[in-house]
C-alpha cells in the first residue's frame, strides 16, 4: 500500500495527526486494512497528504504504542494481529420506547430534607488557604502511604476535640479514621466477627440497618419509649451489640437521659462480648442548654465503640469520619486489621487537622449553629398556626423536627397534599422496621433552606394541613 485516501479537515478542531491515526485505526478494526498489510512509509504518506512528516510520524507512533501496527526494521510498518484485542465500543443510543425509562427524582421548590447541610456556609477561603499550606509544607512525604489508622497528628487533634466538646476520653491509639461511617461499620464487623446479634433502635437510621443486614448479621429492631431504646426488650432479644444514637436519636430526636444510659451500660457490662456502638452523628447542633455528653464518657469497662463524623458539620463530600475503640479492642484491631490502609487521603487529613488545631472548626461550628438556630426558630414560628392540629417534638437539637398528627389523617395524605403544592416532606414510616404505627408523623429538615423560604413554605403547609 503506497497511499491512504484520507480526507483531512484542517479546521475541524481535531489535530491532523489525530485524524490520520483515527482513520487508520478504524480501518484496521473494521478489517478494511487487513492483518499483515504494509502501510505507506511516513515519507510517502506525508507527500501524498501534503502534511509534515512529523505529523505522520506522530500518528504512527500512537498506533505503535496501542499495538495496531508493528515496525519491522528495514522493511517499514505493517498491520498487527488485532483479532484478540479488547475494543471499547461506543454504546448505542438507547431507544426509550424499547425499555423502561430511568426514574427521575422530582425537583421541588421547597424540600424539607432531614439530611441537609448548608453548603453555602462552607469555609471555602479558609479551606483553600489550608490546602495551599499543606501542599507547600512537604511535597514528597505528603504522597507516601500514611499511618493505616490515620495520621497521628490528626488522631491526636480528634482526641483533643472530643474530650473538650463531647467528654470522650481516648488516646490516638484508639482512633481509626475512615471515609464515612459505612466504611467504619464494615471495618468494625470484620473486627468483631459476624457471630453477633445486633439491636437497632426502631424507628432507626435505615442506612445502618441495611448495612448490618447486608453483612449477614442477625438484626433485631428494638421498640423505643420516650427515653430511647428499651433495655428490657434489648435483654429479651438476646442481642449482644446495641447500635444507638443517644445524644439525638435519629429520626425521633429523643435525648437518652442519664438513667437509661446507665441501664444500657449495665446491660453491656453484664455479658461477655457485649458492646454498645454509639453513633454521635450530629451532636454539634443543640440550641437549648449545654451539649449532651457522649455515652462513651461514662464507660469505665471498655464497652462503648464511639462513631463520629465531620460530614454533617462541614460537608458530606469530605467523607471524614472516625471510630474510637475501647482500649480492650485496640490490640485485637492491630493484630487482625492493622494492615488495612486508611481510606482517607493524607492531604485531607492534614487539612482537617489544621482546621481543628487552629480554631477554624470551632468558629465554623459557631457560625453554622447560629445559622441553623435562626432557621429552626423560623420553622417553629411558622408552624404556630398548626398548634391545635399537631404536636411538635425533636426540636432544640439536630437539623430536623417532627410533627405528630393524631386526627386520623395518614402520612401519605399529608405528604401528597404538600407535594401538590411543590413541597417535599418526609414520613416517619420510612424509618420504621416492620409495621408502622397509626399516628402520622412528618419530618421537616431545615439545614439547607433559607429562612425566607421556610417562612413561605410554612405558610402554605399551615393552609393545607390545618383542620
Per-residue confidence at 34, pLDDT binned at 50, 70, 90? confident
CATH label, 16-79, candidates 3.50.7.10, 3.20.20.150, 3.40.50.300, 1.10.10.10? 1.10.10.10
As a whole number of angstroms, the distance between CA 24 and CA 8 comes to 13
DSSP structural state of residue 296: G
Report the DSSP beta bridge partners of residue 427.
Answer: 442
Q: What confidence tier does 285 reach under pLDDT thresholds 50, 70, 90?
A: confident
Q: Are 239 and 197 in contact (CB under 8 A)?
A: yes
CB 248 within 8 A of CB 397: yes
pTM of the model: 0.76
Cα 73 vs. chain centroid, distance in angstroms? 55
What is the C-alpha to C-alpha distance for residues 426 and 444, in angstroms, rounded to an integer? 7
Chain segment 373-397, per-residue pLDDT in tens: 999 999 999 999 999 999 999 877 7
Q: Is 158 exposed, middle or buried, given 0-12, 13-18 or 19+ CB atoms closer than 10 A?
A: buried
Q: Which three cell numbers stand for residue 392?
A: 411538635
Segments making up each domain of the chain, as ranges: 16-79, 110-116+363-465, 122-360
CA distance linking residue 261 with residue 244, whole number of Å: 10
Stretch 180-208: mean pLDDT, rounded?
93
pLDDT class of 138 with cuts at 50, 70, 90: low
Per residue in 294-310, is it b (16+ CB within 10 Å) or e — as a string?
Answer: bbbbebeebbbbbbbbb
The Cα 162–Cα 169 span in angstroms is 7
Q: How confident is the model at residue 186 (pLDDT cuts 50, 70, 90)?
A: very high
Say whether domain 122-360 belongs to CATH 3.40.640.10: yes
- Look at residue 240 in the predicted model and tell me its pLDDT: 93
Walk across the sheet containing 218-225 and list its strands.
175-178, 321-324, 304-309, 275-279, 241-244, 197-202, 218-225, 228-229
Asked whether this chain's domains 16-79 and 122-360 adopt the same fold, the reply is: no
The larger pLDDT score, comparing residue 42 to residue 87, is at 42
- CATH classification of 110-116+363-465 is 1.20.1630.10, yes or no? no
Condensed to tens digits (0 to 9), the pLDDT of residues 317-374 reads 888 999 999 999 999 999 999 999 989 999 999 999 999 999 999 999 889 888 999 9
List pLDDT tens digits, range 258-273.
899 999 999 999 988 9
**Three-state DSSP class for residue 197:** strand
- CA 342 to chain CA centroid, nearest Å: 16
Residue 308 — φ and ψ, nearest 5°? -140, 165
Rounded distance between C-alpha atoms, residue 461 and residue 383, angstroms: 8
Q: Over range 459-464, report the average pLDDT.
A: 95
Amino acid at each position: 500500500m503506497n497511499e491512504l485516501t484520507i480526507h483531512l479537515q484542517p479546521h475541524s478542531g481535531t489535530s491532523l495527526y489525530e485524524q490520520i491515526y483515527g482513520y487508520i485505526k478504524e480501518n484496521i478494526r473494521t478489517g478494511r486494512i487487513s492483518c499483515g498489510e504494509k502501510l505507506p512509509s511516513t515519507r510517502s504518506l506525508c507527500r501524498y497528504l501534503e502534511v509534515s512528516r512529523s505529523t505522520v510520524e506522530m500518528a504512527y507512533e500512537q498506533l505503535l504504542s496501542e499495538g495496531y501496527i508493528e515496525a519491522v526494521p528495514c522493511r517499514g510498518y505493517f498491520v498487527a494481529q488485532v483479532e484478540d484485542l479488547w475494543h471499547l465500543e461506543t454504546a448505542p443510543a438507547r431507544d426509550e420506547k424499547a425499555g423502561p425509562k430511568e426514574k427521575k427524582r422530582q425537583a421541588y421548590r421547597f424540600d424539607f430534607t432531614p439530611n441537609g447541610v448548608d453548603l453555602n456556609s462552607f469555609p471555602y477561603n479558609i479551606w483553600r488557604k489550608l490546602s495551599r499550606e499543606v501542599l507547600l509544607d512537604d511535597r514528597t512525604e505528603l504522597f507516601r502511604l500514611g499511618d493505616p489508622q490515620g495520621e497521628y497528628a490528626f488522631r491526636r487533634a480528634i482526641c483533643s476535640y472530643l474530650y473538650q466538646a463531647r467528654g470522650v476520653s481516648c488516646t490516638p491509639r484508639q482512633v481509626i479514621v475512615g471515609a464515612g461511617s459505612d466504611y467504619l461499620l464494615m471495618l468494625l464487623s470484620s473486627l468483631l466477627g459476624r457471630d453477633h446479634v445486633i439491636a437497632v433502635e426502631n424507628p432507626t437510621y435505615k442506612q445502618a440497618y441495611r448495612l448490618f443486614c447486608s453483612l449477614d448479621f442477625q438484626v433485631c429492631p428494638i421498640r423505643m419509649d420516650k427515653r430511647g431504646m428499651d433495655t428490657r426488650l434489648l435483654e429479651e432479644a438476646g442481642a449482644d451489640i446495641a447500635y444507638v444514637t443517644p445524644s439525638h436519636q435519629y429520626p425521633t430526636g429523643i435525648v437518652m437521659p442519664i438513667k437509661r444510659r446507665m441501664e444500657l451500660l449495665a446491660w453491656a457490662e453484664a455479658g461477655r462480648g457485649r458492646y454498645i456502638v454509639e453513633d454521635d452523628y450530629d451532636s454539634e447542633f443543640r440550641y437549648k442548654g449545654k451539649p449532651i455528653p457522649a455515652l462513651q464518657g461514662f464507660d469505665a469497662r471498655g464497652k462503648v465503640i464511639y462513631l463520629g463524623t465531620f460530614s454533617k458539620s462541614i460537608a458530606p463530600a469530605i467523607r471524614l469520619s472516625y471510630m474510637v475503640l475501647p482500649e480492650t479492642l485496640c490490640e485485637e484491631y492491630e493484630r487482625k486489621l492493622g494492615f488495612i490502609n486508611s481510606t482517607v487521603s493524607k492531604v485531607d487529613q492534614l487539612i482537617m487537622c489544621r482546621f481543628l488545631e487552629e480554631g477554624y472548626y470551632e468558629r465554623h461550628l459557631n457560625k453554622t449553629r447560629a445559622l441553623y438556630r435562626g432557621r429552626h426558630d423560623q420553622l417553629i414560628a411558622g408552624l404556630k398556626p398548626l398548634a391545635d392540629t399537631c404536636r411538635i417534638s425533636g426540636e432544640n437539637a439536630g437539623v430536623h423536627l417532627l410533627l405528630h398528627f393524631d386526627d386520623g389523617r395518614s402520612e401519605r395524605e399529608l405528604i401528597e397534599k404538600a407535594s401538590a403544592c411543590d413541597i417535599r416532606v418526609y414520613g416517619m414510616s420510612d424509618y420504621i422496621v416492620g409495621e408502622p404505627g397509626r399516628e402520622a408523623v412528618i419530618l421537616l429538615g431545615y439545614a439547607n433552606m433559607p429562612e425566607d423560604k421556610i417562612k413561605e413554605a410554612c405558610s402554605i403547609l399551615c393552609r393545607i394541613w390545618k383542620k
